Protein backbone atom coordinates (compact mmCIF):
# COMPACT_ATOMS: atom_id res chain seq x y z
CA UNK A 1 0.00 0.00 0.00
CA UNK A 2 1.06 3.57 -0.62
CA UNK A 3 1.28 5.84 2.40
CA UNK A 4 1.84 9.53 1.67
CA UNK A 5 4.11 11.39 4.06
CA UNK A 6 5.74 14.64 5.09
CA UNK A 7 8.18 14.11 7.95
CA UNK A 8 9.69 17.57 8.30
CA UNK A 9 7.14 20.15 9.45
CA UNK A 10 7.71 23.06 11.86
CA UNK A 11 5.12 24.34 14.29
CA UNK A 12 4.91 27.83 15.76
CA UNK A 13 7.25 26.58 18.49
CA UNK A 14 10.10 26.90 16.00
CA UNK A 15 10.87 30.63 15.81
CA UNK A 16 11.00 30.35 12.03
CA UNK A 17 7.52 28.79 11.89
CA UNK A 18 4.56 30.99 11.00
CA UNK A 19 2.08 31.96 13.71
CA UNK A 20 -0.64 29.86 12.04
CA UNK A 21 1.42 26.67 12.37
CA UNK A 22 -0.62 25.51 15.34
CA UNK A 23 -1.26 21.82 16.07
CA UNK A 24 -4.83 21.87 14.74
CA UNK A 25 -3.90 23.77 11.61
CA UNK A 26 -0.98 21.46 10.85
CA UNK A 27 -2.97 18.26 11.36
CA UNK A 28 -6.04 19.53 9.51
CA UNK A 29 -3.97 20.72 6.54
CA UNK A 30 -2.18 17.37 6.46
CA UNK A 31 -5.56 15.63 6.44
CA UNK A 32 -6.89 17.88 3.67
CA UNK A 33 -3.79 17.19 1.58
CA UNK A 34 -4.25 13.45 1.96
CA UNK A 35 -1.17 12.69 4.04
CA UNK A 36 -1.06 9.46 6.01
CA UNK A 37 2.19 9.97 7.94
CA UNK A 38 3.61 13.21 9.33
CA UNK A 39 6.32 14.31 11.71
CA UNK A 40 6.48 17.71 13.34
CA UNK A 41 10.17 18.36 13.84
CA UNK A 42 10.70 21.61 15.69
CA UNK A 43 14.18 22.97 16.28
CA UNK A 44 15.84 21.41 19.32
CA UNK A 45 12.62 20.64 21.21
CA UNK A 46 9.70 18.21 21.27
CA UNK A 47 7.30 20.22 23.42
CA UNK A 48 4.50 20.52 20.84
CA UNK A 49 4.44 16.80 20.05
CA UNK A 50 1.88 15.78 22.72
CA UNK A 51 -0.82 17.95 21.15
CA UNK A 52 0.16 16.86 17.63
CA UNK A 53 -0.08 13.20 18.60
CA UNK A 54 -3.55 13.49 20.11
CA UNK A 55 -4.89 15.37 17.09
CA UNK A 56 -3.29 12.97 14.60
CA UNK A 57 -4.89 10.04 16.38
CA UNK A 58 -8.27 11.76 16.07
CA UNK A 59 -7.83 12.28 12.32
CA UNK A 60 -6.32 8.84 11.59
CA UNK A 61 -2.88 10.20 10.69
CA UNK A 62 0.26 8.40 11.84
CA UNK A 63 2.54 10.77 13.77
CA UNK A 64 6.24 9.98 14.00
CA UNK A 65 7.97 11.59 17.01
CA UNK A 66 10.63 13.91 15.61
CA UNK A 67 13.02 16.75 16.40
CA UNK A 68 15.31 18.77 14.13
CA UNK A 69 18.56 19.05 16.06
CA UNK A 70 21.34 21.50 15.32
CA UNK A 71 24.65 19.83 16.06
CA UNK A 72 27.72 21.59 17.42
CA UNK A 73 29.01 21.77 13.83
CA UNK A 74 25.79 23.65 12.81
CA UNK A 75 24.51 20.63 10.85
CA UNK A 76 20.75 20.09 10.92
CA UNK A 77 19.67 16.49 11.48
CA UNK A 78 16.21 14.97 11.84
CA UNK A 79 15.88 12.60 14.78
CA UNK A 80 12.96 10.16 14.66
CA UNK A 81 11.96 8.02 17.65
CA UNK A 82 10.07 4.84 18.46
CA UNK A 83 7.61 6.62 20.73
CA UNK A 84 6.68 9.99 22.15
CA UNK A 85 8.24 9.35 25.54
CA UNK A 86 11.70 8.80 24.08
CA UNK A 87 11.37 11.93 21.94
CA UNK A 88 10.35 14.07 24.92
CA UNK A 89 13.28 12.87 27.03
CA UNK A 90 15.74 13.38 24.18
CA UNK A 91 14.29 16.82 23.44
CA UNK A 92 14.81 17.96 27.02
CA UNK A 93 18.48 16.93 26.88
CA UNK A 94 18.97 18.87 23.66
CA UNK A 95 17.12 21.96 24.91
CA UNK A 96 19.09 21.99 28.17
CA UNK A 97 22.34 21.98 26.17
CA UNK A 98 21.45 25.13 24.22
CA UNK A 99 23.26 28.34 25.17
CA UNK A 100 21.41 30.72 27.48
CA UNK A 101 20.56 33.12 24.66
CA UNK A 102 17.06 34.48 25.16
CA UNK A 103 14.71 34.50 22.21
CA UNK A 104 13.51 37.91 21.03
CA UNK A 105 10.12 37.21 19.40
CA UNK A 106 10.05 40.52 17.53
CA UNK A 107 13.26 39.53 15.76
CA UNK A 108 13.30 35.72 15.55
CA UNK A 109 9.64 34.77 16.00
CA UNK A 110 7.52 33.22 18.73
CA UNK A 111 8.30 29.92 20.46
CA UNK A 112 4.84 28.88 21.65
CA UNK A 113 3.72 25.60 23.21
CA UNK A 114 0.09 24.61 22.48
CA UNK A 115 -2.56 22.24 23.78
CA UNK A 116 -5.03 20.35 21.59
CA UNK A 117 -7.31 23.41 21.47
CA UNK A 118 -4.56 25.59 20.02
CA UNK A 119 -4.34 27.50 23.29
CA UNK A 120 -0.86 28.71 24.23
CA UNK A 121 0.16 26.91 27.42
CA UNK A 122 3.79 27.98 27.59
CA UNK A 123 6.74 29.62 25.90
CA UNK A 124 10.33 28.45 25.57
CA UNK A 125 12.75 31.25 26.35
CA UNK A 126 16.03 29.93 24.96
CA UNK A 127 16.53 30.72 21.27
CA UNK A 128 15.85 27.38 19.60
CA UNK A 129 17.75 27.99 16.38
CA UNK A 130 21.10 27.98 18.17
CA UNK A 131 23.40 24.96 18.01
CA UNK A 132 23.25 22.33 20.71
CA UNK A 133 26.35 21.37 22.65
CA UNK A 134 26.60 17.94 21.01
CA UNK A 135 28.59 16.91 17.96
CA UNK A 136 27.10 15.00 15.02
CA UNK A 137 28.71 11.81 16.28
CA UNK A 138 27.36 12.37 19.79
CA UNK A 139 23.84 13.05 18.50
CA UNK A 140 23.91 9.78 16.52
CA UNK A 141 24.95 7.81 19.60
CA UNK A 142 22.45 9.57 21.87
CA UNK A 143 19.56 9.07 19.46
CA UNK A 144 20.37 5.38 19.25
CA UNK A 145 20.27 5.17 23.06
CA UNK A 146 16.74 6.59 22.96
CA UNK A 147 15.53 4.22 20.23
CA UNK A 148 15.88 6.81 17.51
CA UNK A 149 17.62 7.29 14.21
CA UNK A 150 19.36 10.30 12.67
CA UNK A 151 18.67 11.56 9.16
CA UNK A 152 20.82 14.42 7.81
CA UNK A 153 18.32 17.16 6.90
CA UNK A 154 17.92 18.99 3.57
CA UNK A 155 21.33 17.89 2.28
CA UNK A 156 20.68 19.82 -0.93
CA UNK A 157 20.68 23.12 0.98
CA UNK A 158 23.94 24.99 1.48
CA UNK A 159 22.93 26.39 4.87
CA UNK A 160 22.98 23.82 7.67
CA UNK A 161 22.96 20.83 5.32
CA UNK A 162 25.65 18.25 6.01
CA UNK A 163 27.21 18.73 2.56
CA UNK A 164 27.14 22.52 2.81
CA UNK A 165 28.75 22.49 6.26
CA UNK A 166 31.14 19.54 6.13
CA UNK A 167 31.44 19.06 2.38
CA UNK A 168 30.88 15.29 2.64
CA UNK A 169 28.90 12.61 4.44
CA UNK A 170 31.20 10.97 7.03
CA UNK A 171 31.62 7.30 6.16
CA UNK A 172 32.22 6.35 9.79
CA UNK A 173 28.62 7.30 10.60
CA UNK A 174 25.96 4.89 9.39
CA UNK A 175 23.01 6.72 7.87
CA UNK A 176 20.20 4.65 6.37
CA UNK A 177 18.51 7.79 5.05
CA UNK A 178 19.24 11.36 4.06
CA UNK A 179 16.63 14.02 3.47
CA UNK A 180 16.23 16.07 0.33
CA UNK A 181 13.98 19.10 0.31
CA UNK A 182 11.29 18.26 -2.22
CA UNK A 183 11.25 21.46 -4.25
CA UNK A 184 15.01 21.91 -4.62
CA UNK A 185 17.40 20.33 -7.14
CA UNK A 186 19.70 17.52 -6.08
CA UNK A 187 22.46 15.88 -8.08
CA UNK A 188 24.93 14.67 -5.45
CA UNK A 189 25.79 10.99 -5.82
CA UNK A 190 25.23 9.25 -2.50
CA UNK A 191 26.03 5.75 -1.31
CA UNK A 192 23.69 3.24 -2.94
CA UNK A 193 22.81 1.87 0.51
CA UNK A 194 21.41 5.23 1.62
CA UNK A 195 17.77 5.96 0.81
CA UNK A 196 16.25 9.40 0.28
CA UNK A 197 13.32 10.93 2.13
CA UNK A 198 11.65 13.88 0.41
CA UNK A 199 10.07 16.33 2.82
CA UNK A 200 8.76 19.88 2.68
CA UNK A 201 10.58 21.47 5.65
CA UNK A 202 7.33 23.42 5.95
CA UNK A 203 7.31 26.65 7.93
CA UNK A 204 3.88 27.72 6.71
CA UNK A 205 0.69 25.76 6.05
CA UNK A 206 0.78 26.01 2.28
CA UNK A 207 4.27 24.48 2.23
CA UNK A 208 3.14 21.16 3.74
CA UNK A 209 3.57 18.48 1.08
CA UNK A 210 0.77 17.39 -1.18
CA UNK A 211 0.10 13.65 -1.44
CA UNK A 212 3.06 13.05 -3.76
CA UNK A 213 5.87 11.43 -1.76
CA UNK A 214 4.94 7.96 -0.56
CA UNK A 215 6.28 4.81 1.06
CA UNK A 216 5.25 1.31 0.01
CA UNK A 217 4.31 -0.51 3.24
CA UNK A 218 2.08 -3.47 4.06
CA UNK A 219 0.76 -1.61 7.10
CA UNK A 220 1.25 1.93 8.36
CA UNK A 221 2.79 0.60 11.57
CA UNK A 222 5.59 -0.87 9.44
CA UNK A 223 7.01 2.66 9.20
CA UNK A 224 9.27 1.96 12.18
CA UNK A 225 10.72 -1.15 10.56
CA UNK A 226 11.17 0.79 7.32
CA UNK A 227 13.07 3.54 9.11
CA UNK A 228 14.92 0.85 11.09
CA UNK A 229 13.89 2.30 14.46
CA UNK A 230 14.34 -0.50 16.97
What would the pLDDT profile of 120-148 be if each residue is shown by its tens digit? 999 999 999 999 999 999 999 999 999 99
Calpha distance 25→17 (Å, rounded): 12
Q: The pTM is what? A: 0.96
Q: Could you state, in order of their start, the residue ranges of all structural domains in the chain?
A: 2-227
pLDDT for 43 equals 98
2-227: CATH number: 3.20.20.140
pLDDT for 93 equals 98
Spatial neighbors of 141 by CB under 8 A, at least 6 apart, are: none
pLDDT for 186 equals 65
The answer to whether the CB of 12 falls within 8 A of the CB of 22 is yes
First to last CA, the chain: 22
137: exposed, middle or buried (C-beta count within 10 Å: 0-12, 13-18, 19+)? middle
Please give the torsion angle defined by the CA atoms of residues 51, 57, 63 and 69, in that order, rounded to the nearest 10 degrees. 10
pLDDT tens digits, 168-194: 888 888 899 999 987 666 666 777 788
Amino acid sequence: MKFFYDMHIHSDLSPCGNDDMTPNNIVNMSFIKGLNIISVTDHNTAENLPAIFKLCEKEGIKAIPGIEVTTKEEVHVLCYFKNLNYAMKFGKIIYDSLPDTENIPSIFGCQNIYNINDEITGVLNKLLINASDYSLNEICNMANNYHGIVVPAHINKKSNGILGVLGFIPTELIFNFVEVKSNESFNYKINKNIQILKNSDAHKLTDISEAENFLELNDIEDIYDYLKIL
